[in-house]
Structures are given as C-alpha cells and as structure tokens.
Amino acid sequence: MSCDFLSLARPGVQKLSPYVPGKPVEELAREFGLQAQDIVKLASNENPMGPSPAVKAAIAAALPELTRYPDGNGFALKQALAERLGVATDSITLGNGSNDILELVTRAFVGPEHEVIFSDHAFAVYPIVTQAVGAKAVSVPAKNWGHDLVAMAAAITESTRLIFIANPNNPTGTWIERAELEAFLAKVPERVIVVLDEAYTEYVETDDVPNGMDYLAQYPNLLVSRTFSKAYGLAAIRVGYGVSCAAIADALNRVRQPFNVNALALAAALAALQDEAYLIESRRLNRAGMQQLEDGCAAQGLSWIPSRGNFLAIDLGREAAPIFQALLREGVIVRPVANYGMPNHLRVTVGLPEENQRFLDALKRVMLRG
Ligand SMILES: *Cc1c(COP(=O)(O)O)cnc(C)c1O
C-alpha cells in the first residue's frame, strides 16, 4: 500500500479538477486507428495557418545558442513590446504562455484569506489558480453567457484581492463593451487587482471591444495579459506577457522562475511581433471562417453564441457529449464544454476553409444519425 499523498496535499489542491486540454491529434489517431493527416483538430483555438516563415527562421537562427541560458529578463522582446504598446519596459512581465502570468499574479497577491472573483463560463484556469493558493473562488452568474460586470462589482468584499475578466471570453466568445468596462473599473477599490485577460484581442476587428492598454495609466490595479498562442500562431512554444504598473510587475518578477521564457520562445515572439502580414492574414482567414461556420450552423437550424474570438460556441439543443464522441469517430476534434456549465454546447475553433467544411459535414451526419 502506498501512502495517500493526495490527503497530504493542501485542501484547495485536493478539491482541484485538473485542466482538460483539447484532445491531441496523435491521441485520437492511436485510439481510433486513424491517420493523423485525416484528423481535423478545431479544439484549442490555435491558428490554423501554422507558424509564420519568419518565425521559423528566427527559431532556426537561435538554435546554435541552445547551450546558453536565455536572457532571463527578455530584454529584446520587452523592448519591442514596450515600443509596440506604448508602455514602459518595466511594466511588462513575460510569461511561459499567458497562463504563467495568471498564475504569477495569483501567487504573488492571493492567499487563503482572500477571495477571487470571476464569471461563470469563464476560462478554466481562473478557478484552478485560485484553488491552488487556497483562496476562495467566487464565480458570478453570467448574463447572456457573458460577464455580468455589475454583478461582479457587487460581489467584491473586504476579502476580495483579485478579479479575472476575459475579454473576449473563452469558451463563450462573449465580449465586454467599453462603457461597461469603464463603469466597472471605476467601482473597483484600488486594493483589488483586476486581471483583464486579452488572449484573443488580436482577433477583435470591431471597435466596440475596449483595449486594455487604454486604461493602464488611470488604473494602477489593472493587469492586462496577452499571448502569442492564439492569433500569432505560437501555442506550442509558450510565450505570453502581462502589462501593469511597475509595482505589480515587480511583484510578479519576484515569484517567477528565473528563466520562465525559453530562448526559442523569445526569438519566436520577437519575430512574430514584426510579422504584421501574418496577423492580417490570420484575421482575414478568421473572419471568413467564422462566417462559414455561422452559415453552416444556420443551415442546420443550430444557434450559437455570437463571438469576437477565433471560435464559436454552438448550441446543439441537446446533450453535446455524444455528438462530441461521434465527431471523434469522424476524425473531427472539437471541444466539449460541459465542465464550463455548458452541456449543450460544443466549442469549435475557426480552421482553414476545408477544415470548417469537414466539421460542418460531419456535424450534419452525426446529428441526423441520432
Ligand atoms: C488560450 C487562452 C489563454 C492563453 O493561454 P497561453 O497559451 O498560456 O497563453 C489565456 N486566456 C484565455 C481566456 C485563453 O483562452
């Protein structure tokens, strides 16, 4: 008999459900005896274009230096980001993906005596990082699947230390408009840190969605997090960043691992930032693919939650789990979101036109079958 180590873990950790990622292509290929090239994965909001050639070249150029530790301060990348965003370099924190930033801010500021507020149907990492530090998670009911910022502000107590907001939100695709965000920020006491998670901001093409950078000067308790995993097409290399007042960045810098962003990631992100054409093409592809998915769903009599991201939460009007399973057998991986309190929805990432069509055709077949 081995020791029950889980009972030794801290209470918050014992109650944690681990993050469930999108099913990897190789795993499905193994399980169903399919060929990897016949599988379509639209499950993790990745950019379907593959990495930009400029990024691949930058990674190749960094290979000869792999025996050296990376620049632990990420000087060149921070410099480029600061210039691009119009902020000071000491306001930037680099992360091993933006998940790293979400965890760093929680570890630096939140303890078991605190409460952390987020929305129902919001990104699954928020409850995970909250419980990991033993804090109390306060999940606020959503409004039309999106964040109810009025209710979230009303949920603030003396114990609240952190609030997570995703704009646009994953998995719903819902967004917060400028006036709502401004009214909310004005109500939050300065001792409460607001994390505005803008993982999908590069996909936003309408001006109804606010840009977090516009509020940093006015709100020192604001931290905006962004990532190279989505529109920049670099999910595998793990790099993201936070922008905040220098004092918050200083706290994050104290708790992070000394070399939390590796050398290939630093080189890749720097090159990605300079490849404006890739981003423009990514947006164009996303716009067309979103239209294709919406048209396809409408043709099948299905509704969806309007989205400003690169994914769509489709309402199947019935339990989605069996449909998800049937789609797997068709070689199509999407994302079930029952663990987000959305048992009738499937979240589908916008892919290449032929991938979107594969999904729509497979969905039609499996929905008809039963
Ligand atoms: C994908 C995603 C992230 C970022 O993940 P990283 O790959 O760690 O940068 C952060 N927030 C939301 C809401 C996401 O959907």
Domain extent listing, the chain: 5-50+277-369, 53-275
Q: What is the mean pLDDT of each run of 10 residues along the chain (370 residues)?
A: 85 88 90 90 96 97 96 98 98 98 98 98 96 97 98 98 98 98 98 98 96 98 98 98 98 97 98 97 98 98 98 97 96 96 98 98 92
Distance from the alpha carbon of residue 199 to the mean position of ligand 1, in angstroms? 5
Nearest CA to ligand 1 atom 12: 199
Q: Residue 21 has what pLDDT? A: 87
Reported residue count of the chain is 370
The two tokens of residue 77 are: 């990348």
**Type of residue at 188:** V
Fold topology of 5-50+277-369: Aspartate Aminotransferase, domain 1 (3.90.1150)
Do 312 and 305 form a contact (C-beta atoms < 8 A)?
Answer: yes
Q: Residue 366 has what pLDDT? A: 96
Q: Residue 96 has what pLDDT? A: 98
- Nearest atom in ligand 1 to 230's CA: 1
Q: Residue 1 has what pLDDT? A: 58
Q: Which long-range contacts (CB under 8 A, 24 or more apart) does 134-137 make?
A: 134/10, 134/11, 134/12, 135/12, 135/106, 135/110, 135/111, 135/161, 135/162
Cα(207)–Cα(69) distance, rounded to whole angstroms? 41
Cα(325)–Cα(316) distance, rounded to whole angstroms? 14
- Residue 123 in contact with ligand 1 by CB distance below 6 A: yes
Fold topology of 53-275: Aspartate Aminotransferase; domain 2 (3.40.640)
- Residue 106 in contact with ligand 1 by CB distance below 6 A: no
Distance from the alpha carbon of residue 173 to the mean position of ligand 1, in angstroms? 13
Q: How far is CA 92 from CA 79, 95, 266, in A?
A: 9, 10, 14
Q: Residue 234 has what pLDDT? A: 98
Q: Which long-range contacts (CB under 8 A, 24 or more apart) does 8-13 make?
A: 10/134, 11/134, 12/112, 12/130, 12/131, 12/132, 12/133, 12/134, 12/135, 13/131, 13/132
